[in-house]
Amino acid sequence: MVELPAPVSGQRHEIGSPVGRLTYYAAGPATESNAPPLLLLHSINAAGSAYEIKPLYEHYRQSRTVYALELPGFGHSERGKRDYSVRVMTDAILVCVKEIQYVHGRGPIDALAVSLSSEFLARAVTELPLAFRTLALVSPTGFRSRDQTAEQRDGTRGMPGLHAFFEFPLWSEAFFRLLTSRASIRFFLRKTWGSPDIDEGLAEYDYLTTHQPGAQHAPYYFVSGFLFSRDILRIYQLLTLPVWMSHGVRGDFVDYSNKTAVEGRANWTIEVFQTGAMPHFEAGDAFVRSYDAFLARAKLPA
C-alpha cells in the first residue's frame, strides 16, 4: 500500500471530535487579508478527498485563508467501520466551522461544497446560520426530476439490505477493490466529466485514496442511499443567506429539473457552465470570475 500524500498544500490539522478524528488543511496569503475564511468541501463518492477542490484551494489561498475539510470516512480523516450518516457529515462540518471561529473569531465565513456534500453544508447552515456569510453549491444533489418537491418527510433513501450485502465480510473489501481499479476510476470520471478529457492528477489520487485501509466503509453508505436526505429541497428552501449554485451540462449529472424550486428566489444565483460536473476543473477562470462576482455582490448592503 502506498502512503496517501497530502491532497493540497498548506498545513495539515487534526481534530478529535464526537464524529471521529477529522483532518483539514489550511493555507493563506503571506500578508493578512480582510476577506473572511473560505471553507471548501469535497464531494461524496467512492474516492472523495480534498483533491476534488484543489484548484479552488490553491487559487484562493493566494488572497485569503482557505480550509479544506476531509469528511468522515474519506481522505486522511478516520475511516473505521461505523455508521456514516447525514448527521455525522453535518456535525463534522459544524465542528470544523467552530474550529475556524476559534482561530479567526466569530465573524461569518464563506463556504463551498461539491455534489452531495452540498446537502450536508446546507443543513449545517440552517442549524448555525450566523456562522455563514455565503454558500456556494457546485453540482448539488437533490434537484433531479425524481426528487419531488412534495416529498418533505424526514429520513434518507437508505437501503439496509443493500448495505448489508456490500459489507458482507466474504467480499466487502474485494468488491470495493474491483470498483476502484484504475480502469473503473477512469470510467466513472469520464461519466462525471462527460468527456474523456479527465483530470489525470485526480484520477491518480482517486486510486491512491481508495486503496487505504477502511476506504470502503463510508462509500458503501453512500451507494446504499443513507447519505441522501428526503427533505433536502425543504432545507434548500429554508436558506436565507446569499446562495450561488453552479452546474454543468455534460455527463451523468445534468438533471436539475427541480431547481425551479429555488431559482426565482432573490438570494439564489444559478450559473450554468458548458462542462461536466466539475466545472472548477474544466472552466477554472470562468468559474472563479463568476464566483468572485457573486461574492462581491454579497458584500453590498441589501
* Interval 88-129: pLDDT, tens: 999 999 999 999 999 999 999 999 999 999 999 999 999 999
Residue 140's domain comprises 11-299
Q: Is residue 1 part of a domain?
A: no
Q: Higher-confidence residue: 197 or 160?
A: 197
Q: Is residue 129 part of a domain?
A: yes
Q: Is residue 91 part of a domain?
A: yes
pLDDT of residue 32: 82
pLDDT of residue 150: 44
Give the pLDDT confidence of 121-177 residue by residue, as tens digits: 999 999 999 999 999 999 999 998 766 544 556 688 878 888 888 888 887 888 899
pLDDT of residue 198 exceeding 90, the answer is yes
pLDDT of residue 3: 86
Q: Is residue 4 part of a domain?
A: no
Enter the pTM of the model: 0.95
Per the prediction, the chain carries an average pLDDT of 93
Domain CATH for 219: 3.40.50.1820
Q: Is residue 6 part of a domain?
A: no
Q: Is residue 174 part of a domain?
A: yes
In the chain, the number of structural domains is: 1
Percent of the chain with pLDDT over 70: 95
Give the pLDDT confidence of 232-272 residue by residue, as tens digits: 999 999 999 999 999 999 988 888 999 999 998 999 999 99
Other Cβ atoms closer than 10 A to 128: 16
